[in-house]
Amino acid sequence: MGSSQWIDAIIEEEFKPCNLDDRARTLVKSLLERYNERLINDALRKVVRQAKGLARQENKPICEYLQTALDKEWLTEFCESYANAMID
C-alpha cells in the first residue's frame, strides 16, 4: 500500500467517525504542495497517536483532540518539524 493509500485509510478510520474527514483531506491536500506523501503520512500518524494518548490521559473523546489537532494545525507543525530535521 502506498503512502497516499495509508493517508486515506488513516483519515477514514480516525477522522471520519468524528465527521472531520473533509477538513483532514483539505489540510493534507494543501500540505502536498510543500511536502511528500511519506512525510505527511508519518506526521498524520503522530497526530493520531498524540490525540489518542491525550484522550486516554484526560478520559475524553478522541474526537475532541482530533478537532484540536486540526484547529491548532498540529499536522502542519509536525510536517515542518520533520522537514527541518531532514535538512539539519
Q: Tell me the whole-structure pTM to 2 decimals.
A: 0.89
Q: What is the per-residue pLDDT across 8-31, written as a single tens digit (0 to 9) for each?
A: 999 999 999 999 999 999 999 999
Q: How confident is the model at residue 72 (pLDDT cuts 50, 70, 90)?
A: very high
> Which one, of 74, 36, 37, 40, lies nearest residue 54 by Cα?
74
Task: Judge whether residue 74 has pLDDT over 60.
Answer: yes
Q: How confident is the model at residue 55 (pLDDT cuts 50, 70, 90)?
A: very high
Task: Judge whether residue 67 has pLDDT over 60.
Answer: yes
Interacting residues of 3 by C-beta distance below 8 A, sequence separation 6+:
36, 37, 38, 40, 41
Q: How many domains does the chain have?
A: 1
Q: Which domain holds residue 45?
A: 3-87
